[in-house]
Amino acid sequence: MDWFTAHVDEVWKLFVEHLYLSAVPLVIGLAIALPLGWLAKRYRIIGPPLIMGTGLLYTLPSLAVFILLPGILHTQILDPVNVIVAMTIYTIALLVRTVADGLRAVPEDVLLSATAMGYRPFSRLVKVELPLAVPVISAGLRVAAVSNVSIVSVAAIIGVQQLGSLFTDGFNRAFFAPIITGIVACVVLSLVLDLLIMGVTHVLTPWSRTRRPG
């Protein structure tokens, strides 16, 4: 505790950095996963390979990705862009299937009546299908958020500063205080992201909380 109070400013800086490195890829990843998920749901032939292919990205060892990306992107090894790109890949890996599942969960008769009302395909997607897919997509997003927080910490090994740096620091000095602080901070960060996603979902889906009385 003494260690923590002496390093509050430093921990806070790492916390914000960690938040940035996990949350920004979440947003970019979602933006990319939406059209990919739609494609996977829409076209029977490319659907399964697309979902399987993007899903496999998740099995790439994160350390290897962090080391290889600078060479591929021609960036500096310490450039946070590497981490952002890597985390975006992991987010996409988790979300393409979720988006496709969410869109598939929209009832057939709702789609049918939307078309019959005279919705063109794109506005049907935006105004009917996506809103109804929000609960499923949101569930996937929560998993991706927690996963991101955890994977980002690995980037400490290549020297990118965030909460994971507390682990390497503690390990190098055989000193537990920073490690425990880092773990607690990661849990808090996951909770913050989770609550944030739940809050946004809550606002977007007033309809899903209604039950027929009686």
Partner 1 sequence: MIRFESVSKSYPDGTIAVGDLSLEVPDGQTTVFVGPSGCGKTTSLRMINRMIEPTGGRITVDDRDTASMDAATLRRSMGYVIQHAGLFPHRTIKANITTVPLLLGWDRRRAERRALELMEQVGLPEHLAGRYPAQLSGGQQQRVGVARALAADPPIMLMDEPFSAVDPIVREQLQDAFLMLQADLGKTIVFVTHDIDEAIKLGDQVAVLRVRGELAQLASPADLLAEPTDEFVADFVGKDRGYRTLGFRSASYPIATEPTVPVGATADLARVTAAGRWVLVIDDERRPLGWVDPDKVDQAVSIGSLHRGGTVASVTGTLREALDAALSSPTGRGVIVDESGALLGTVRAHEVVDAIAADAQRAP
Binding site for partner 1 (CB under 8 A): 107, 109-110, 112-120, 128, 131-132, 205-208, 210-213
> Closest by alpha carbon to 153, among 197, 184, 131?
184
Nearer to partner 1 among residue 76 and residue 115 (C-beta)? 115
**SS3 assignment, position 70:** helix
For the bound state, the minimum distance from the C-beta of residue 119 to partner 1, rounded and expressed in Å, comes to: 7
Distance of alpha carbon 179 from alpha carbon 72, whole angstroms: 32
Residue closer to partner 1 by CB (options 49, 199) is: 199
- Residue 117: DSSP 8-state: H
Least separation in angstroms between residue 45's CB and partner 1 is 15
Least distance from partner 1 to the Cβ atom of residue 106, Å: 9
Cα–Cα distance list, 170 to 123, 149, 173, 191, 203 (Å): 53, 19, 5, 24, 41
Shortest Cβ 133–partner 1 spacing (Å): 10
Min dist CB 204 to partner 1, Å, is 9
Rounded distance between C-alpha atoms, residue 121 and residue 143, angstroms? 30
Closer to partner 1 at the Cβ: 17 or 129? 129
Nearer to partner 1, 106 or 166 (CB): 106
Looking at the Cβ atoms of 129 and 169, the one nearer to partner 1 is 129
Write the Ramachandran bin of 213: left for phi over 0, alpha for psi from -120 to 50, otherwise beta. Answer: beta
Distances, alpha carbon 30 to alpha carbons 15, 20, 72, in Å: 22, 15, 23
